[in-house]
Amino acid sequence: MRASSVVVASAAALLLTGVAACSGASGDDPQPAPSASSAPPSEAVSGARGLLAAKAATALDKAYSALYSFDDGNGQPRNVVAQIGRDGTWRVDVSGGALGGTADVTIVSTAAGVFQCTLGSQSNPISPTCVKVAKPGKRVPADYSPKVERLFRPGLSVFTDRQAALSVAEVPPLAGAKGTCFSVDSISASLTAPVDVGIYCYADDGVLTAVRVGFGELKVSNQIDGPATVPLPGPETAGPPMGMDAPPAAPPVQPTGIVPSA
């Protein structure tokens, strides 16, 4: 399957490092957040819910770039590259993530807002452009979202919120996944789930290592340290953003000089 030039370049950089996971020994890496057990009693959350909150708090301070394989069950798994900056900016590139799988797309979050950006490829060498699709920290509208971006930074604030309507249980790791895994479900039937329900796995340093949700399964392949900040890959334009569905087929062209029969 075709992968964007940005996805391929990022994947190659990750693979050339030969690093399966960051050790956290770099001087630029933030210190791990305190665990729930070391928090004051008034702030402690017991059991799996508290452990997930501690993992999410660590993840909020972790900068990394990682290559993932995403399998939505509809064919060959696709590449996903996530970049989390030390300043809280982030970017998720999804190969074949827009226009019914015919276009590569990236979602980027900066202090100015959340953007959907086009990505060029060898077969489609366009210059990337970006369209603002949400205010800072807000969710991308469903019409413009490849969904995968929701599995990274956006869910962490929910996992650290003790008031979120979630049921959490620690479960065995997904096949081929490392880290601690949690089954996350909503406990409110009347409200939209604050995150995608499913299984989330995190390494000790806060890196997301695997996820299984209703729209697919994501697993990390390789990882390196993250950048200081994540900029937009191209200039902001007025839009419109790309949709997720395949564009309608063009009507057949009538040969000139032939009048259709009644």
Question: pLDDT tens, 160-193?
Answer: 998 888 999 999 999 989 999 999 998 876 567 7
∠56-214-104 over CA atoms, to 5°?
85
Q: What percentage of residues in the chain have a pLDDT greater than 90?
A: 64
Is the pLDDT at 40 greater than 90? The verdict is: no
Joined tokens for residue 87: 């300043």
Q: What pLDDT was estimated at residue 15?
A: 41
Mean pLDDT of 121-148: 90
Query: Is residue 10 a contact partner of residue 67, using CB atoms and an 8 Å limit?
Result: yes
Bigger pLDDT: 187 or 252?
187
CA dist 154 → 104, 137, 176, 196 (Å): 21, 7, 24, 11
Which region holds residue 12: left if phi is over 0, alpha if psi is between -120 and 50, else beta? alpha
Largest CA distance in the chain: 84
CB atoms within 10 A of CB 72: 15
Say if residues 214 and 197 touch (Cβ distance below 8 Å). Answer: yes
Per-residue pLDDT, 188: 76
pLDDT band for position 194 (cuts 50, 70, 90): confident
pLDDT at 32: 34
Most confident of 152-166, 208-222, 246-260: 208-222
Whether the Cβ atoms of residue 93 and residue 114 lie closer than 8 Å to each other: no
pLDDT averaged over every residue in the chain:
82
For residue 151, pLDDT over 50 is answered with yes
Q: Across-strand partners of 84?
A: 64, 90
pLDDT at residue number 120: 76
Can you give the pTM of this predicted structure?
0.79
Instruction: With a cut of 60, say whether residue 259 has pLDDT above it.
Output: no
Q: What is the pLDDT of residue 261?
A: 60
pLDDT band at 237 (very low <50, low <70, confident <90, very high): very high
State yes or no: pLDDT of 223 exceeds 50.
Answer: yes
Which pLDDT score, from 0 to 100, does residue 31 have? 33
- More reliable by pLDDT, 258 or 173: 173
Residue 45 or residue 83, greater confidence: 83
Confidence of residue 76 (pLDDT cuts 50, 70, 90): confident
